C-alpha cells in the first residue's frame, strides 16, 4: 500500500508543496509530480468532475507517486470514504466551523475505534488486494489524512476545540472566504488585521495539538512568512492561474511586435 508523501513530509517537520487542479487534465498530474510538488488539491467543491474522471486522476496520482487531497462536494459518509478507497491520500472538507462537525467527519472517515468508516479493503488504496483488516486500518490511519477548512469567524472561535479533535490531521485556512466574512460581518477588517490574527490563532492551535496547518498563498515572501509561522502545507499554483498567466504571457509577445 502506498505511503503518503504529505504525511512523511509533515512528520519530518518539512513543508508540503501543494498545487490545485479543478479540471480533467491527466497530464497535469505528471507535470506537477515532475516539478516537485508532493500533493495535488483536487477541487470538487467548485468544479464538477464525474466519478470516473476523478477515479482516473487518482490512478494517475498513484502512477506518478504524488498525493491527491480531494476537496469534497459532500459530507455523505459512504461517499467520503469512497474517495479514499479510490485512492485519495486525503480529504479536505470545506467550512468546518464547530468541533461537533469535526467529530462527525472523523466518524465518517476513520476506522474503529476512532471512527465508523466501513471496510472494503479491495480498492486502489489497498492495491486491489485483500489485506488483514487490522493491517489495512493501521495503514489508513497512518497514511491518509483528514483536512478541515477554517474559513468562517465561527471556525476561528472554535479552532482550539477543532484542533483537539482526535482524527483531524490538518487545519487549512481559507483566507478568501474568511477574509470576505470578516469584511462584511458588521465589524469589518479594513487593514486585514483580523485575518492576520486568525492565521496566528490557527497556527497556535495546531502547534498546541501537534497537528499541521495549511493555507494558499503566492510569492516567495508570503510563503516565507507563513512558513515562519509554522505552516507545513502551502498551495501556490494550479491549473486556473497557470493557464491564465501562460495565455497572458503569450499574448504580450504579440503586443511587443506592434
Q: Which residues are catalytic?
A: 46
What phi, psi does 160 have (nearest 5°)?
-65, -45
Output the nine-digit C-alpha cell for 214: 495549511
Burial 155-176 (b: 16+ CB within 10 A, else e): bbebbbebbebebbbbbbbbbe
Amino acid at each position: 500500500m502506498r505511503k503518503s508523501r504529505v504525511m512523511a513530509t509533515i512528520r519530518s517537520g518539512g513543508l508540503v508543496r501543494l498545487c490545485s487542479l479543478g479540471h480533467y487534465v491527466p497530464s497535469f498530474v505528471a507535470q506537477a509530480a515532475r516539478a516537485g510538488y508532493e500533493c495535488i488539491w483536487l477541487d470538487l467543491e467548485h468544479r464538477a468532475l464525474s466519478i470516473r474522471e476523478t477515479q482516473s486522476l487518482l490512478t494517475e496520482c498513484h502512477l506518478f507517486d504524488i498525493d491527491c487531497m480531494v476537496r469534497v462536494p459532500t459530507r455523505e459518509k459512504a461517499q467520503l470514504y469512497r474517495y479514499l478507497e479510490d485512492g485519495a491520500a486525503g480529504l479536505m472538507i470545506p467550512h468546518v466551523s464547530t468541533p461537533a462537525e469535526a467529530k462527525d467527519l472523523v466518524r465518517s472517515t476513520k476506522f474503529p475505534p476512532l471512527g465508523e468508516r466501513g471496510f472494503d479493503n479491495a480498492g486502489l488504496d489497498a492495491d486491489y488486494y485483500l489485506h488483514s483488516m487490522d493491517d489495512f486500518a493501521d495503514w489508513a490511519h497512518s497514511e491518509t489524512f483528514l483536512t478541515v477548512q477554517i474559513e468562517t469567524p465561527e471556525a476561528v472561535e472554535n479552532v482550539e476545540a477543532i484542533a483537539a479533535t482526535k482524527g483531524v490531521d490538518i487545519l487549512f485556512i481559507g483566507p478568501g472566504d474568511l477574509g470576505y466574512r470578516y469584511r462584511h460581518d458588521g465589524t469589518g477588517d479594513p487593514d486585514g488585521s483580523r485575518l492576520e490574527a486568525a492565521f496566528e490563532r490557527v497556527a497556535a492551535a495546531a502547534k498546541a495539538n501537534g497537528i499541521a496547518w495549511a493555507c494558499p498563498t503566492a510569492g516567495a515572501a508570503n510563503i516565507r512568512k507563513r512558513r515562519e509561522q509554522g505552516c507545513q502545507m502551502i498551495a501556490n499554483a494550479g491549473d486556473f492561474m497557470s493557464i491564465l498567466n501562460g495565455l497572458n504571457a503569450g499574448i504580450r509577445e504579440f503586443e511587443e511586435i506592434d
